[in-house]
Amino acid sequence: MSQTYAIGPTNSEMLLPEPERSPVHYTLISVDDHLVEPPDMFDGRLPADLQSGAPRLVENERGHQVWTFDGQIFSQVGMNAVAGRRPEYRSLEPARFEDMRRGCFDVHARVADMDLIGCWASLNFPSQVAGFAGRIFSGSSDPELGHAVMRAWNDWLYEEWWQQYPDRFIPCGITWLSPGPDGTARLGADEIRRNAERGFRAVTLPERPHNIGLESLFSGWWDPIIEACVETDTVIALHVGSSGMYAMPPSAPALQLGATLFGQLSLTACAEWLWSGYPYRFPNLKIAMSEGGIGWVPMLLDRLENVVDRSGYGAGWDLRPAEVLKRNFWYCTIDDPSTIDLYDVIGEDHIMVEVDYPHGDSTWPDTQTILKDAWGHLPDSVLRKLCCTNAAALFRHPLPDRIVP
């Protein structure tokens, strides 16, 4: 396609020297990584009468590569693609593809970067042009176009990412988040079923949908989507920040304060999803809190017990809310060295590791060393669960023939 931006040679001056392969102490399945949508992602993937409206990568007057869609501009914010970049070049400026490691957007290079750190498999979320949960497409002024783009994103992920290396990626799709012509969530439920039929294991939904103008979790509107997830054993992955960031005070340092309060965002979202009643009503519903860490989970469990025993604010369920939390929710952590020893309180079967490649929080390429320093004292049986077998069980993903420890 003539309008597709051609990625030039990598600007090696922006990047650190190529890292050496790490000694592998642990077999890793990372349940929170990201792909950067490549310039040709949507080429030829929409119906002919809609193709001209597909998202396009263009260069603006400042030399930034930005996406244009539905009259809006979406940039590849620099901190979303800093794996391997020299620290002095990290910023919030929009990043050019030439300034990224190819593993950000090229599946073959991504697998090579996974191999460098002993990462067996990875679940990948969208980036800027889709919004972390596909909300950009669902908010299109032309719903037919937005729906077609949403499906095209999933088709690309299936064909060009997952199917290239089916054992190395856990397919996580997006879905339609707005009312269809009948006012219901049927279109979103249909997409979840379409993806499940071809092997998708997860769908990412907004943490707090009401916060970005979507229907509230407490309205009943989401019932068809939840029912589709339960029916197909599709895990709901709630990525931190997918419904906006912390409401910043005037003049606050947004990058520092926002990053500090990631856990608070997940705590709030987790409590809302719990009290929506969906996890209680659907015992087999599986919800993964992505990139929120685990430090807040013991506090939430304690608070839920107080709500019932001390305050008397329980919902009249025949299960304690803390029991529902332990049954239906999973958590992912980069390392959480101060709270990892509370794995038995949180539930050692419900904690999973993340690498967060290629974001600013990522431990790549030092993941193995960082985990050994923070977790090396844990029993091997627990390490296997946290590093790979919990994720393999939750997402029904195959493990390699040999795992360590």
Q: DSSP label at 15?
A: B
Tens digit of pLDDT for each residue in 100-153? 999 999 999 999 999 999 999 999 999 878 887 989 999 999 999 999 999 999
Residue 94 pLDDT greater than 80, yes or no: no
Judge contact between 85 and 102, C-beta under 8 A.
no
Q: Is the pLDDT of residue 2 over 50?
A: no
Task: Tell me the three state secondary structure of residue 33.
Answer: strand
Per-residue pLDDT reduced to its tens digit, 156-182: 999 999 999 999 999 999 999 999 999
Separation between Cα atoms, residue 395 and residue 405, nearest integer Å: 21
Could you give the CA distance from residue 328 to residue 101 in angstroms, rounded to a whole number?
36
Digit-coded pLDDT (tens) for 212-245: 999 999 999 999 999 999 999 999 999 998 888 8
16-394: CATH topology is TIM Barrel (3.20.20)
* Chain centroid to CA 41: 19
Higher pLDDT, 99 or 370: 370
pLDDT computed for residue 1 by the predictor: 33
Residue percentage of the chain with pLDDT more than 90: 78
Rg (alpha carbons) of the chain, rounded to whole number: 21
* pLDDT tens string 291-317: 999 999 999 999 999 988 887 777 789
CA neighbor of 143 nearest in space, from 173, 178, 186: 178
- Sheet of 172-173, strand order: 172-173, 202-205, 235-239, 287-290, 329-333, 351-353
- For the chain, the domains span 16-394
pLDDT band for 261, please (50, 70, 90 cuts).
confident
